[in-house]
Structure 1
Amino acid sequence: MLAAVLHGQEDLRLETCTDPTPDSGEVILQIDVATTCGTDLKVWRRGGHAKMLRPPTLFGHEAAGHIVAVGEGVSAWKVGDRVIANNSAPCMACWYCQRQEYSLCTDLTFNNGTFAQYQKIPAPIVQHNLLLIPDGMPDALASLTEPLACVLHGAARSGLRPRSEWITPPQIAVIGDGAIGLMFVGVLAHQGAEVLLFGGSDQRLELGKKLGAAQIFNHHQVSSLPEQVRDLTAGRGADIVVEATGVPAVWEDAIASARPGATVNLFGGCPKATKISVDTGLLHYSELTLKGVFHNTPHFVRESLALLASQKLPFDQLITDQQPLKNLEQAFFDMRDRKTIKAAILPH
């Protein structure tokens, strides 16, 4: 089969690999559509990821496909089933899993390799995070299940109170107009919040408005993001701030944009070993909650697929390009240059 293999920093090669065969409890997917992701872009640019992979390795983690082979002991699935396979599954046995903190599992099974014609799905993922695609749902839309599951997990941990407790809709600043930031806009606006979106692309910001952003701002035209947020919130700062860029300086801006008592969701993953400075007086006297959020859980994978299938939000508009597998590297150059939000890659 033809597959993309990451060898290092911006070193992505298409190689002919042996077709996978299933071991006990596993299945083999034919990949029908794989979508590019901001995490993939960062991994490609940085040459690795602290948790999910180390080169050389098969690459990619968002896809929709159909089963072409099943291993011994697999009875819940059959050849021909259209499915999405999350890129991980928790062990369900460790200290964290016993407390249902599945994203903190000490033995997460990660699986990469969606930028390929076929992919082997490990038994834990088959057991816990392999889902049937609803009839009529486009493959490309289904392939967005994993990133939206991460966003739903992040939204749930952002301190948004039940609507019955609101005096006025909470004001939430989302910083970043990549696919993840735009997904946060859609999810939080759908829940009734007033979302203020900051990004660097007028075209992406307009998409943010379609997804429900109340106001949009190009950061190139904003002298101070924290001051702008305070101007929009009667001088207080945002009730919730979501950082979705993975830039340490922007983490600091996010913290400075929060009102007393706010939650700051530091969602964007920064480069390894980077550090930020935090004003301890601000953190203490303003009773801020700084929240790091990572990955997803089986519950949110299921919730994500259901939300996408409902087509209540136009998340399909995040896919702005379609390319054959042979053009994968060019798709990453286009993402790097902000010409593409997400690309649908067709391996066959």
Structure 2
Amino acid sequence: MLRAVLYKEKELRIEEAPIPEIGDDEVLVKNKVSTTCGTDVKIYKRGYPLLTPPHPFGHEYSGVIAAVGKNVKKFKEGDRVAVHNTAPCGHCYFCKKGQFSMCEDMLFNRGSYAEYVKVPRRIVEQNMFKLDDTISHKTASLMEPFSCAVYGIDNCPIQQGDTVIVNGAGPIGLMFARLAVLRGGKVIVSDMKENRLETARKLGVWKTVNLTGVEDAVAALCAETENERGADVVIEATGLIGVWETSVQMARKGGFILLFGGTKGGSVLHVDATLLHYSQVTIKGVFHTTPLHVMKALELLKMGVISSDDFIQNEYPLQELETAILEHAEGKVIKNCIIYD
């Protein structure tokens, strides 16, 4: 089979490899669609501390089961499936507290840019789902990132009529925006790419703000809120520490700020302590997702809450993965996808 391997920063190779052999509790998936992701872009550009190159690449995909281990009863050969790339252990301190996104023994299964993917037991049991004919493989491949947004939005106290600012109109930001709209929020989305803001408008947001050339983002966004007091809820989805800091300043007194975009290691958040004390804002960081929210995300995708048509612009063969990644990195698209025979 063919698979993508990242040898070092910006050195991506498509190589021949044996089709993986599976154990009694595992499943082999023949890939149909894998999608590009902002995390992939970051890893491609600067590596990742927990990954030692060379290593398999990619984590968003959907496909058809090619083989099942003898102990697997929930699935059979030929089933169409959506597969998440992680699963918590269920036994550590945080799992016992119900905080599954912070599992101390989280299983990561990377390597979705490949013709076949071996799925380990824990993911088979927790985070792999059959697909019916109501959902395409392209839309199902959005399950992993969408589950992160579903988890994040469940941590936001959005009430009907609340003003919600979403900073960043990449894939995750747009997913947050759509979910906030469905909760009855008056959603304002900021970004510097007009194509992304156009997608936000298609998803039903109230207003968009293009920050290209804007010197004071806080003033520009707050000007769009009632009496310029700031938003009830602010969601940060860029992963830029400067935007983390301005997001905190965009909330009204007593407002809520969700910091979701992952920053570079060593980034330090500078916040005016008097703002926290006298304005009584709540700042919450959220990372990753949980099995419950993966399941919720897939059900919402089946309902058509978002569609691959709004998020995936171009299709490429695996041999042109680097082109797909670079287009994503340059902001020319929301996402691209790799299509397999």
Task: Please state which band the TM-score falls in when normalised by the shorter chain.
Answer: over 0.9
In structure 2, how many angstroms separate the alpha carbons of the residues matched to 1:222 and 1:229? Answer: 10
Structure 2 counterpart of 1:280: 273
In structure 2, how many angstroms separate the alpha carbons of the residues matched to 1:32 and 1:314? Answer: 17
- State the number of aligned residues: 340
For 2:221, which of 222, 225, 229 is the aligned residue? 229
In structure 2, how many angstroms separate the alpha carbons of the residues matched to 1:245 and 1:329? Answer: 22
For 2:299, which of 268, 287, 306 is the aligned residue? 306
Structure 1 counterpart of 2:12: 12
For 1:57, which of 52, 55, 58 is the aligned residue? 55
For 2:323, which of 309, 322, 330 is the aligned residue? 330
Tell me the secondary structure at the aligned position of residue 30 of structure 1: strand
Q: Does structure 1 residue 238 correspond to structure 2 residue 236?
A: no
Q: For 1:156-215, what per-residue CA distance to the aligned partner results, in whole angstroms no more than 9, with x for missing partners?
A: 112224x4xxxxx11010011111111111111011100000011112111101101100
TM-score, scaled to structure 2? 0.96
1:142-291 alignment runs, 5 A limit: 142-161=140-159, 163=160, 169-233=161-225, 234-291=227-284
Q: What amino acid does structure 2 have at the position aligned with 1:207?
A: T
Structure 2 counterpart of 1:111: 109
Q: 1:29 to 1:314 in 2, by over 3 A?
A: closer
Q: For 1:118-171, what per-residue CA distance to the aligned partner results, in whole angstroms no more than 9, with x for missing partners?
A: 00101100011110112231110000000000000011112224x4xxxxx110
* CA displacement at 1:315 relative to structure 2: 4.7
Structure 1 counterpart of 2:69: 71
In structure 2, how many angstroms separate the alpha carbons of the residues matched to 1:90 and 1:284? Answer: 36
In structure 1, how many angstroms separate the alpha carbons of the residues matched to 2:238 and 2:54? Answer: 26
* CA displacement at 1:72 relative to structure 2: 3.0
In structure 2, how many angstroms separate the alpha carbons of the residues matched to 1:296 and 1:72? Answer: 30
In structure 1, how many angstroms separate the alpha carbons of the residues matched to 2:200 and 2:308? Answer: 10
Structural RMSD (CA): 1.3
Tell me the secondary structure at the aligned position of residue 220 of structure 1: coil
* CA displacement at 1:49 relative to structure 2: 5.1
Conserved? CA contact 1:175–1:197, under 8 Å: yes
Structure 1 counterpart of 2:40: 40
Q: Structure 1: give runs of 5+ residues left out of the alignment.
A: 164-168
Q: For 1:234-288, what per-residue CA distance to the aligned partner results, in whole angstroms no more than 9, with x for missing partners?
A: 1311111111111111111111111111111111101111112111111121112
Q: For 1:274-329, what per-residue CA distance to the aligned partner results, in whole angstroms no more than 9, with x for missing partners?
A: 11211111112111211111111111111111111111334531101100000000
In structure 2, how many angstroms separate the alpha carbons of the residues matched to 1:346 and 1:245? Answer: 27
In structure 1, how many angstroms separate the alpha carbons of the residues matched to 2:73 and 2:192? Answer: 49
Q: For 1:19-54, what per-residue CA distance to the aligned partner results, in whole angstroms no more than 9, with x for missing partners?
A: 10111311010001001111111121121155xx44
TM-score, scaled to structure 1? 0.95
- Percent sequence identity is 39
